[in-house]
Amino acid sequence: MSRALFAAVAALPLMIAAGSAVAQNHAGHAPAASPTPAAQTPAAAPAPAPDCPMMRDGKPCPMHGAAVSDAQADPHAGHDMSGHAGHGAAAADPHAGHDMASAQAQAQAQAAQTDPHAGHNAAPTDTHAGHNMAPTPAAQADPHAGHGAAPADPHAGHDMSAARGGPNIPTSVDAVGGRMVETPPPAAARSAPAHAADLLFDPAVMAAARKQLLAENGDIRSTAVLIDSLEAGFGDGADTYNWGAQGWTGGDINRFWWKTEGEGEIDGKLHEVEVQALYSRAIAPFWDVQAGVRQDFRPDGEDATHLTVGVQGVAPYWFEMGAAAFLSTEGDLTARVEAEYDQRITQKWILQPAIEMALSASDIPELEIGSGLTSVTAGLRLRYEIRKEFAPYVGVEWSRSLGETADYARARGQDPEDTRLVVGVKAWF
């Protein structure tokens, strides 16, 4: 009995070394796939067989018990290990992504209950030693993935460019200065005729067709008559009447334009009449330049003819404006500037402020006009559009003669300043 005990004590270092060798022989082998949880897998694995000299000779050992066969010592003996990790194609690891620290501690505790060498100084067997524990697709599918580790990204490795809005197409934001770089067209693009139809049809026939198309859709002749004011004025002096009208005939670019205005006393004589005949050409979408002649008719026989040049149009915010210069046959240069604005209160009621200024480059004694700014007239009219083409109005108008022109008015016995109530109508057709 003491001899057997002595032999066992002498063989203890050999058994410790043999246990480490067996653990290293299993390192790199993946356990067989099992549906059981990770914590139960190490418990199901058989303990490594002890390396005892008496047991190698087939004799029972008083410390280790009965001898075991080679097949029982190696749980993988005779197995085809080509499918395990490290031997051919690796099978999916059911423990990929798990925190195996607690599982290994539980496996070692269970192994200590069955291992006869529990408590001996031997390196614990790592059932996952040599395994690549990086998350794999199988680990992402594992319902336990992410326990004790960072959660796996379900989109890892996916091309998410389409989900973020489609392909990366350059826009003006990507260009320098906020503008896309436009490449010029190739030289061959300008080598063909200006109209592609000329390649298939007679160019002369196509030119006639384009001319007809322009006449039917862009060169339409039209005629309009605008009665800006037809009104009567009531003030401190004599009751007066006056008118202002204009119209045109032609196309969108070139037109013949006419204008007329005049004033007189209701129960007295006609003061003056002015008529203009103008050629008008559009120079911008809302502006025309005009040139022609102006003829003045006066009861005292002081008729005058002027060469006229001016502009007329609509300024920003819909201010209707006009300016003209007049050069008479006597060499007198005068000018007139006027502006008005339609402030729409409702769809029917419209308030129209207007202002007109007259200027002269020199004194004209026969017309009782001084040089400089000769007069200013401002008015405010409120009209009601019974129809778009017909609108009566009521308003007030203030006028003032300035400079030497005011002196001529005082010499005639008139007040250079006058305020009048006006009633009239505005129409167009």
Q: Is 408 within 8 Å of 369 (Cβ atoms)?
A: yes
Asked whether residue 77 carries a pLDDT value surpassing 70, the answer given is no
Q: What is the pLDDT of residue 10?
A: 55
Asked whether residue 148 carries a pLDDT value surpassing 70, the answer given is no
Asked whether residue 89 carries a pLDDT value surpassing 60, the answer given is no
Asked whether residue 32 carries a pLDDT value surpassing 70, the answer given is no
Lowest pLDDT segment from 173-177, 228-232, 312-316, 375-379 = 173-177
Lowest pLDDT segment from 134-138, 278-282, 307-311 = 134-138
What's the rounded Cα separation, in Å, for the pair 295 and 305?
A: 5
Record the pTM: 0.54
What's the rounded Cα separation, in Å, for the pair 172 and 185?
A: 19
**Per-residue pLDDT averaged across 334-362, rounded?**
97
What's the rounded Cα separation, in Å, for the pair 323 and 312?
A: 7
Asked whether residue 41 carries a pLDDT value surpassing 80, the answer given is no
5: left (phi over 0), alpha (psi -120 to 50) or beta: alpha
Q: What does 29-67 look like in DSSP terms, one character per residue?
A: PPPPP-SS-GGGHHHHSPPPPP--HHHHTT--BTTTBS-
Q: What is the pLDDT of residue 325?
A: 98
Asked whether residue 170 carries a pLDDT value surpassing 50, the answer given is yes
Q: pLDDT tens across 239-296, in order?
A: 999 999 999 999 889 999 999 999 999 988 888 999 999 999 999 999 999 999 999 9
Lowest pLDDT segment from 8-12, 58-62, 180-184, 343-347 = 8-12
20: left (phi over 0), alpha (psi -120 to 50) or beta: alpha
Residues 6 or more apart whose CB falls under 8 angstroms from that of 174 comprise: none
